[in-house]
Amino acid sequence: MAKISLFFLLVVFLTSCFGPLKEIKYQIEDSSDLEDDFIDNPLPLNDFSNKFEIQILNTFKFSSETKRNFAQFISDNFFYYASHEGLISGYNLLNKEIEFSYKYHRNITAGLSSDSKNLYFVDSDGYLCALSLNNSIEWKTFVGEVLAPPYLISNRVIIKTTNNKFISLNKLDGSIYWTFQAINSPLTTKSWGEINSIDNYLYAGISSGKILAINSSNGSMVWETTYSQPNGISDIENSNDTTSMPIVDDSVVYVVSSKGNIAGLSRNDGQVLWKRALSSFLGMTSNDDTLFITHNTGVIYALSKETGKVLWRNADLKGRDTSRPFVFNENLIVSDYQGYLHFLNIKTGSIESRIKLSDSLLSYPLYDSNNESFWISSIEGDLFHVGKLSIAKNINDKKNENYDGSTEPKELDDSVLDKIFFWD
């Protein structure tokens, strides 16, 4: 009887208030544990009129095989990509031909990264490899299991292994400068939380809701901070990794955990300046004053960098396997599981335009050199060059072809009481 009363009071309390309390209600709804991170009932796409037209400047077929796991980047008019199965290729965007191709004899688990001489990746046997653009392996060094792309800084390659070991290697020959072993939680998701850096310091989130700063010259730890305390009962509930790259400004580091908090910390000493309950496996991006985060449910948030206050929330794409946001001029771009690109107003979060590029998942966009267009690929091997935007003339998008005609939103089965521990 006491539990029923508590539940009743909580529901009345949260649903009858506005402002911060309404915001808390929304985020509790978004903080439900999703079995295997999948949602059975994604929200359908609604009809609407595009406010501007999206221009597809070019479309290239760079691969005839479907590869879900590949890394990619663009350099000097070449689109480089690597498949999980070990095929590494360079596609010339000017003459539309593959001019670089190398078949490695093992699967690739992390990469690609590049400098002017080599491509860097880690294979399934745990070796960091340097592949020259002359089609030869220059060196390989054993580093262990790695899922995060190699991070390049000055003349070093920095590796973060799945057990939170950091290794600094010489770009020229693969010799090891230093290693640093951070505390490793007994239960992690083998996170591939990426490294970021500024002013010769490395910043990376690790397991148990922690983030640390490392001196890249000698591997000494500058500080370590727990920004997201585990709050569950079982080991699985306490698993709280950082699976995305921290964002580093002049004086603040921003980091988000896969099941817990997002926080802003002092870059000088790791002091928590603000934090709030918001989880993201995919991570976030930012502009000058705002953080943009894709919650695990596919809901998109915009937060003030200064205070962590929610500026807007868009739940139109809930359950649609929404990607990490991408800032493009005055829009925020995300993709979904059906191959749609959605363009959101960066100030309000409202969807202003969308286009269907593929029937499959899309990669994270890559900026063109002029920042007025971008490249994005599908797992089916199609590369799209998306150009400037112009005003549309009553261009109507179609509904999701799986739309069943219902006008009622398909809400998740959220449990408020089970998830209340997310809140301070």
What digits encode the pLDDT tens for the residues 284-295? 999 999 999 999
Q: What are the distances in angstroms from CA 187 to CA 74, 163, 212, 230, 287?
A: 36, 10, 19, 12, 34
Burial grade of 288 (CB within 10 A; 0-12, 13-18, 19 or more): exposed
Nearest to 298 by CA among 43, 12, 5, 3: 43
Q: Please tell me the pTM assigned to this model.
A: 0.82
Task: Tell me the two tokens of residue 68.
Answer: 């879900």
Predicted confidence at residue 394, as pLDDT, reads: 47
DSSP string of 313-362, one letter each residue? EE-TTTTS-PPPPEEETTEEEEE-TTSEEEEEETTT--EEEEEE--SS-B
The average confidence (pLDDT) of the chain is 80
Q: Which helix (H) or strand (E) holds 4?
A: helix 2-15
pLDDT digits over 122-140, tens only? 999 999 999 998 889 999 9
pLDDT digits over 248-273, tens only? 998 999 999 888 889 999 999 999 99
Nearest to 286 by CA among 322, 257, 229, 248: 248
Q: Say yes or no to pLDDT of 421 above 70.
A: no
Q: How confident is the model at residue 189 (pLDDT cuts 50, 70, 90)?
A: low
Choice between 203 and 281, residue whose per-residue pLDDT is larger: 203
Task: Tell me the two tokens of residue 396.
Answer: 């109507």
Lowest mean pLDDT among 97-106, 162-171, 185-194, 321-330: 185-194
Percent of the chain surpassing pLDDT 70: 76
Nearest to 362 by CA among 323, 389, 320: 323
